[in-house]
Amino acid sequence: MMSLLLESGANIDVREGTSGKTPLHLAVECHNCRAVQFLLRNGAYVDAQMYNGCTPLHLAVGRKDAAIAAILSHSGADTLLRNMENETAQDLADGNDDLLALLPFDDLKISGKPVVCSE
């Protein structure tokens, strides 16, 4: 169904009017890994912010969904974006070692991707 909508010219980052959620936010809320992967593969903005500043990563971490948090993190999600409550995804993961292990702790990024050193 999503493929058909995109082929018909639907905006992959369209916002819901009340909260500003995008299809990616909704897929995260539904814990739907396949939909999250599909949307990201087709150009969904990984750091889209709702009107309250929450990104899909904020939602995944807040729901303790490590699988989706990993997908978003590997897709270049910015772990340091703040919502209106001044919280980052890292702040929301505090105390959850499984989630914290998924989030890079350096803030050096180029085009939204973490910069890593290789030997």
At residue 40, the pLDDT reads: 97
User: Amino acid identity of 63?
Assistant: R
Beta bridge partners of 109: 114
30, 74, 105, 107, 108 from 116: Cα distances, Å: 31, 12, 11, 11, 9
At residue 43, the pLDDT reads: 95
At residue 101, the pLDDT reads: 83
How do residues 66-77 score in pLDDT, each as one tens digit? 999 999 999 999
CATH superfamily membership of 2-114: Ankyrin repeat-containing domain (1.25.40.20)
In the chain, where the domains are located: 2-114
- The pTM of the full predicted model, rounded to 2 decimals, is 0.82
Residues of the chain with pLDDT under 50: none
Distance CA 49, CA 89 (A): 12
